[in-house]
Structure 1
Amino acid sequence: MVSTLDDAKRNAIGVKLADVKLLQQLIIENEENFLRETTDEEISRRLRDFLEDDRKNLGIIETVIVQYGVQQQPRQTVSEMVDQVRKLMQGSQLSFFEKVSKHELLKHQQVMSGLLVHKAAQKVGADVLAAIGPLNAVNFENRAHQEQLKGILEILGVRELTGQDADQGIWGRVQDAIAAFSGVVGSAVTQGSDKQDMNIQDVIRLDHNKVNVLFTEIAQSNNPQKIQEYFGQLYKDLTAHAEAEEEVLYPRVRSFYGQSDTQELYDEQADMKRRLEQIKAISPSNPEIKDRIKQLADVVMDHVRQEESTLFAAIRNNLSSEQTEQLATEFKAAKSKIQQRLAGQASGAGV
């Protein structure tokens, strides 16, 4: 019963997220090219800030895709559009003003895509909203970049038309516009040049939060179809999470967390996997299923509490920030491969 009834909707969101990732990679390439092309110090400074933000935002988008748990490829039309834009950006057919203008449109496309994913998530499930939550920070920064790009375009356009510099007071108006649309929260998010990348604790906590949402949705539903949908996602998420931890995290922490405590984590996850397989074989209309999932939730949440207390404390005390961020990168890569494997198995089995 692992297949979810809302697979079509979840897959559509997965494709949209793949589109967003591909566009984000193009945005980064554009900004790298712009920095080589411009000699204006003020524009260069802002482009460097954009590039730093966008590289971090690519990491956030990759985290969201892994957290979401549905691996898809971008649409062919988007891939073709990206190839066309890349050629234009690297060629000499367009002026610098025209290239930046197209770049601002890409930023707008990213903002709208992020908004649509958020609105679609509201229709599909609370677990989807939990998974795509970090995307909100990317949306705020893209909107802030848009406003600054308008200022850059005004300067470049006036130079192109007149050969003279525009009124530099445009930057004051740009900052006013950013403050107007973002408010206090948005302003805090857009000032993200010094924010750290996610560490392994952040990434695992995101997984834990999503799983908790799925357990809550199941507990509150008496609809066998919805129970099947949510358990299907729960099965995939817990399986990928556990295998990635066992591949990347547990071997790394064993030396300082202790042999017996680390083995306890392995044993708890073996129990969890056994329960998942047992529940998978039960019909979603069987009254027994919710009790069995409740028992699984108790086991999983005990495991979560241990990880977020003693394990996380041990990680903070024994690993540097750089090491925990690298672990997060390795964990996400491992989890992504596991998700792809599970999707292939499900497709082959016709479930």
Structure 2
Amino acid sequence: MGKDVVDLIMNDHRELEKLFDTLLNEPDKRAALVPVMTTLLTAHSRAEELEVYPAAREAGGEDDVEHSQKEHLEADQLAKAVAETDPDSPDFPTALQKLVDAITHHVEEEEKTVLPGIRARLDDARREELGEAFLASRQAHLGDQPADITKAELDQQAANAGVSGASSMSKSELQDTLEAEAES
């Protein structure tokens, strides 16, 4: 496998789909797989937000990036809710289904708009460079959960989402602002 960022992102999408399928259909595996799923989802999202979205934005995909970032903000909230819900609770299937539905929608849109835009607007060398940066960032964030986010990462999310004034906000204020920006 090459390191084209589009291929790497799509590979993660397929891996998340497999995890979702297992979580939905094999309740006895939920307790073990929820942390795996939230870790992969968080690492993938942070790598896209920090490395890929800024490049896609610069290459003319501003509207797609803003929309995708807002969907990431929603996914963070939903993933946190899943992680905080007991896998044996009667509330768990509903929380999980909300996350799966949001991620499925996001993946479909991203694969229809953002990723083809990256392929069209960025040459092979730049996509390979972004692929390496994506992998390094993803690796650095493995083990993170949605709540494990720095002020600098929040600032980047704000830039991706088109939120102005982020640098003058405290971390808490910025988190509240971004939560309000989440697609729902």
**TM-score, structure 2 normalization:** 0.74
Would the alpha carbon gap of residues 259 and 335 (structure 1) be closer, same or farther in structure 2, given more than 3 Å must change? Answer: same
Q: Which residue of 2 aligns with 1:327?
A: 130
The one of 188, 209, 220 equivalent to 2:25 is 220
Would the alpha carbon gap of residues 213 and 340 (structure 1) be closer, same or farther in structure 2, given more than 3 Å must change? Answer: closer
User: How many residues in Structure 1 have an aligned counterpart in Structure 2?
Assistant: 146
Give, as a single letter, the amino acid of the residue that structure 1 aligns with 2:74.
D
Please list every run of 5 or more consecutive structure 2 residues that lacks an aligned counterpart in the other structure. 149-184
Map 1:1-351 onto structure 2 (within 5 A): 197-223=2-28, 226-339=29-142
Contact persistence 2:78–2:99 (CA under 8 A): yes
Give, as a single letter, the amino acid of the residue that structure 2 aligns with 1:295.
K
Partner Cα separation in structure 2 for residue 211 and residue 244 of structure 1: 15
Q: CA RMSD in A?
A: 1.6
Contact persistence 2:85–2:92 (CA under 8 A): yes
Partner Cα separation in structure 2 for residue 232 and residue 340 of structure 1: 9
Give, as a single letter, the amino acid of the residue that structure 2 aligns with 1:249.
V
What's the CA shift for 1:261? 2.0
Partner Cα separation in structure 2 for residue 329 and residue 297 of structure 1: 28
- Report which structure shows greater RCO (CA 8 Å, sep ≥6): 2
Contact persistence 1:218–1:290 (CA under 8 A): no
Contact persistence 2:75–2:103 (CA under 8 A): yes
Would the alpha carbon gap of residues 295 and 261 (structure 1) be closer, same or farther in structure 2, given more than 3 Å must change? Answer: same
Would the alpha carbon gap of residues 209 and 263 (structure 1) be closer, same or farther in structure 2, given more than 3 Å must change? Answer: same
Give, as a single letter, the amino acid of the residue that structure 1 aligns with 2:135.
K
Contact persistence 1:200–1:331 (CA under 8 A): yes
Partner Cα separation in structure 2 for residue 326 and residue 249 of structure 1: 10
**TM-score, structure 1 normalization:** 0.40
Give, as a single letter, the amino acid of the residue that structure 2 aligns with 1:283.
D
Partner Cα separation in structure 2 for residue 337 and residue 232 of structure 1: 16
Contact persistence 2:42–2:144 (CA under 8 A): no
Partner Cα separation in structure 1 for residue 60 and residue 106 of structure 2: 15
What's the CA shift for 1:257? 4.0
Contact persistence 1:257–1:311 (CA under 8 A): no
Partner Cα separation in structure 2 for residue 285 and residue 307 of structure 1: 32
Partner Cα separation in structure 1 for residue 109 and residue 60 of structure 2: 12
Would the alpha carbon gap of residues 336 and 259 (structure 1) be closer, same or farther in structure 2, given more than 3 Å must change? Answer: same
Give, as a single letter, the amino acid of the residue that structure 2 aligns with 1:237.
L
Contact persistence 1:256–1:318 (CA under 8 A): yes
SS in 1 for 2:85: coil
